[in-house]
Amino acid sequence: MKKISRRLFVEGTGAGIVAVAIPLEGQAQSAPAAPTTASNAPKTTIKLTINGQQRSMEVEDRWTLVEVLRDHLQLTGTKIGCDRGECGACTVLVNGKAVYSCSQLAVWMDGRTVQTIEGLAQGTKLDPLQTAFIEHDAPQCGYCTSGQLMAAKALLNSNPKPTREEVRAGMTGNLCRCSNYNHYVEAVMAAAGTLKSGGAA
Partner 1 sequence: MNPLNSVGHREPRVDALLRVTGKAEYTGDVKLPGMLYARLLRSPHPHARIKSIDISKAQALPGVRAILTKDNCDTVWSSGDSLGQRKLFNNPLRFTGEAVAAIAAVNRHVAEEAMSLIQVDYEVLPFVLDVDKAMEEGAPEIHPGGNLSPNNQRRREPQTYTRGNAAKGFTEADRVFESSFTSSHHNNAQLELRTSLAYWEGSKLTVYASTQGIVNCQRDIAKDLKLQEADVRVICHYMGGGFGNKNQSHDFDLFAALLAKEAKAPVKVEFTRKEDFVAVHGRWSSKQQYKIGVKNDGTLTAIQMVAKTGSGAYRKSSCDLSGTEIYQVPNLETSTTPIYTNTAVAANYRAPAYPQGVFGIESAIDDVAYALKIDPLEFRLKNMTRKFRDQTPYTSFGLEDCLRKGADSFGWKQRWKPVAGSGAGPLKRGAGMAMGMFGSALGRSSAVAKVDAKGNYSIHVGVTDCGTAAKTTMGLIAAEELGVPLNKVNVVWGDTDTCPYSVGESGSRTTVQTGDAVIQAVKDLKKKISEQGMPKGTDEVMVMVTTNPAQIQGASRQSFVAHFAEVEVNVETGNVKVTKFTAAHDSGRVVNPLTAESQVQGGSIQGIGMALHEELRYDQRSGQPLNAGYYGARIMTHMDAPQVDVLWVETEDPYGPFGAKTLGEPTIIPTVAAVANAIYNAIGVRMHDLPMTRERVLAALQGVKA
Partner 2 sequence: MKSLRNVNPKSFQEAARTLAADPKAMAVGGGSDLLQLLKEHTIAPDTLVNLKAIGGQDKIETHGNTLSIGALATLDSISHHAEVRQKYAVLAEAAGQVATPQIRNAGTIAGNVMQRPWCWYYRNNFPCYKNGGNTCFSITGENDFHAIFGGGPSFIVHPSDTAPALVALGARFKIQGANGTREVAAADFFQPPTVNPAKENSLAAGEVLTEITIPAPAKGTRSTYLKILDREAWTHAVVGVAAVLEMDGAMCKSARVVLSGVAPIPWRVPAVEQILAGQRITEDLLVRAGEKAVEGARPLAKNAYKVPLLRASVKQALRTASGVSA
Closest approach of partner 1 to the CB of residue 94, in Å: 17
Which partner from the list partner 1, partner 2, none does 116 bind, CB cut-off 5 to 8 Å by kind?
partner 1
Q: Which helix (H) or strand (E) holds 53?
A: strand 53-60
Of residues 86-105, those binding partner 2 (CB under 8 A): 86, 88, 91, 97-100, 102-105
Our finding on whether 121 is near partner 1 (CB under 8 A) is: yes
Of residues 59-88, those binding partner 2 (CB under 8 A): 60-62, 64, 83-86, 88
- Answer whether 106's CB lies under 8 Å from 65's CB: yes
Task: State which residue, 47 or 164, has the beta carbon closest to partner 1.
Answer: 164
If we measure between CA atoms, which residue out of 76, 100, 98 comes closest to residue 89? 100
Per-position DSSP letters for 6-17, written without gaps between them: ---EEE-STTTP
If we measure between CA atoms, which residue out of 91, 89, 94, 90 comes closest to residue 50? 94
How far separated are the first and last CA of the chain, in Å rounded?
A: 48
List of residues contacting partner 2 (CB under 8 A): 1-4, 6-8, 20, 22-23, 25-28, 32, 36, 40-42, 44, 60-62, 64, 83-86, 88, 91, 97-100, 102-105, 107-108, 151, 154-155, 169-173
